[in-house]
Amino acid sequence: MSIDLPSQGFIFWPVGTGDSSTVKVDEDTYLQVDIRHMAKVDEDDDPAWPIIDHLVEILPEVNGKPYLSTFALTHPDKDHCQGFEELLDKVEIGELWLSPRVFQEYHDDEGLCEDAETFHDEALRRVKATIDAAGDPGSGNRVRIIGYDELLEEDPYKGFPMEFFSVPGHEITALNGQDFGDQFRAFIHAPFVDDSYGDRNDCSLAFQISLSDAGTIGKALFLGDLKYPILKRIFDVSDAEDLEWNVLLAPHHCSKSAMYWQDEGDDEEKLKQDILDSMANAALSPGFIISSSTPVPAKNESGDNPPHAIAKRQYLRIAPDDFLCTHETPSEDDPEPIAFEVGAGGFSYMGTLSLAASLEETVNAAQGLDQPPATAVGFGGDTE
C-alpha cells in the first residue's frame, strides 16, 4: 500500500489520544515529532494507524534501511514515545533531539515506560559518542541537546560540544548535520530554565517549525503537553513572527488546561481569554487547529482525560479555517492522516491521506478474474 504525500509539509497521524507528527522537508528528509505506535490495530478493529508500519514504507532508504533524518521527543510520556524501541530497530535515525530536563522531572515512584527508557539510553549513548568524538560523531550517533549552559557542567554532559547544543529562544536550521536554512527553521520556545509547576508536562519541548518553498512559508506550532501558565509565558516573551501558525497542534490533545486555569485564591478554574486572544492574533491564513486524539466528546464529566469538549469549543472560536480531530477526519470509523502542503501554490490543506493500492497489489488482486479490476491503476490513485 502507498500514501500520496505532500512534496513538503506536515502530517498528523490518527494514533488515538497521543502525538505522532511528521514534517517532510524534502524527498529525503523527514523530522518525526513524537510517536505513538498502536501495534494492537494490526489484529483488532481499532481505527488507529500503526504508524511505524507506514513510516517504513514512506521513508527513503539508505544502505538498505528506512532512513529518518531526525526524531524529536517533546517529553517521555508513553503517549508520545510508544513504539520508539521498535522504530529504533526498524529505522536508521540520523539524529535525536533531547531536552534532558523532561527526564529529570520523572521521580522514582513514577518511573519511565520501557520506550522512554530506550529513548533515554539511546540519547545518552549518542551523548557519549559525541563527547568521545570531540565533535561530529556522524549520522546514527548524532544528538542535539536542548537546554541551558549550566547543563553542560553536569554529568553525563560535561564536555559536550556546543555545536550540537541549542538554547530555547534560538533557532535550529540543521537536521542530521545538513543545513536547510532555505527550507526549514525550528524556533525553540521551551522549556524555560526555571519551569517548575510540579508537573513534568511543564518541561515539554515546544517549538515553531517553518517550511519554505518557492516563496511560500508554512508554519506549525508544537507545544507538547504544556498548560496555561507556560503557554502564556511563551506568548508574552516571544517575538510575533516566532509565534505565527498555519497549524496549531492543540496542547495536550485538546486539554482544557491550555485555557482554563485556577489561580491561587480562586475557587475554581476560569477561562483565560488572554491566551486565546494571543493564539488568535498569531494565526495565519489559512489556519487550522489539530486535536491529536480520539473523537472529542459532546461533553465531559469532571476528571475526564483529554480531549475536552470545552477546549474544542474555544478553539472553534479562534481557528481561521477549521478545527480538525485526527480521529474524526474524514470519519470516526475510518480516520486517515491529516496533511498540509507547502508549495509554489501556497500553503494548503490537502485533506486526508488515504492508502492506495500499488500496481503490484492491484494486479495480484485481479489474478484469476474474468474481468479487469474496477479500480484504475495509476500513480496516486485511490482504491474505492
Copy the grid coordinates of residue 100. Answer: 534532558
Cα 136 off chain centre by: 26
Helix (H, G, I), strand (E, B) or coil at 29: strand
List the 206-213 sheet strands across, edge first: 171-172, 184-190, 206-213, 216-222, 245-249, 283-291, 322-325
pLDDT reported for residue 382:
33
* Neighbouring residues of 222: CB distance < 8 A, sequence distance ≥ 6: 21, 33, 74, 206, 207, 208, 209, 249
Q: Tens of pLDDT along 201-250?
A: 677 899 999 999 988 999 999 999 999 999 999 999 999 999 999 999 99
The size of the chain, in residues, is 384
Residue carrying the nine cell digits 486535536: 291
Residue of 239, 305, 302 lying closest to 17 (CA atoms): 305
Give mean pLDDT, residues 35-51: 80
Q: Cα separations (Å) of 272 from 59, 237, 264, 267, 302? A: 41, 17, 14, 15, 19
Residue 378 has pLDDT above 60, yes or no: no
Residue 342 predicted with pLDDT over 90: yes
Alpha-carbon torsion, ordered 56, 59, 62, 63, to 10 deg: 20
Q: Which of 30, 29, 33 is nearest to 21 (CA)?
A: 33
Question: pLDDT for 256-295, tens place per residue?
Answer: 999 999 998 888 999 999 999 999 999 999 999 999 999 9
Angle at 165 between CA 150 and CA 95, to 5 degrees: 140
Nearest to 120 by CA among 163, 87, 75: 75
Give the pLDDT confidence of 296-314 residue by residue, as tens digits.
999 999 999 999 999 999 9
Q: Rounded to the nearest 5 degrees, what angle is found at the Cα of 143, between the Cα atoms of 163 and 237?
A: 65
> Average pLDDT, stretch 71-75?
96
pLDDT digits (tens, 9 = 90+) for 166-208: 999 999 999 999 999 999 999 999 988 765 444 666 778 999 9
Is 360 a residue whose pLDDT tops 50?
A: no
Distance, first Cα to last Cα, the chain: 13
Question: What was the pLDDT predicted at 100?
Answer: 87
pLDDT at residue 317, rounded to an integer: 98
| Range with the poorest average pLDDT among 35-49, 72-86, 161-175, 320-334 | 35-49
The pLDDT mean for the chain works out to 89
Looking at the predicted structure, is the pLDDT value of residue 362 above 80?
no
Contacts for 151 with CB less than 8 Å, ≥ 6 apart: 100, 145, 157
pLDDT at 193: 74
The Cβ-side half-sphere exposure at 172, using a 13 Å CA radius, reads 25
**Reduced to 3 states, what is the DSSP secondary structure of residue 149?**
helix
Mind giving me the DSSP string for 87-111? Answer: HHHHSEEEEEEE-HHHHHT--TTT-
State which fold the 2-353 domain adopts: Metallo-beta-lactamase; Chain A (3.60.15)
CA atoms within 13 A on the CB side of 1: 10
Tell me the per-residue pLDDT of 96-136, one tens digit each, with 9 for 90 and over.
Answer: 999 987 776 655 446 789 999 999 999 999 999 999 999 99
pLDDT confidence of residue 313: 98
Q: Can you tell me whether residue 358 is helix, strand or coil? A: coil
Provide the residue ranges of all domains of the chain, joining segments of one domain with +.
2-353
Cβ–Cβ under 8 Å, residues 245 and 284: yes
**pLDDT score recorded for residue 380:** 32
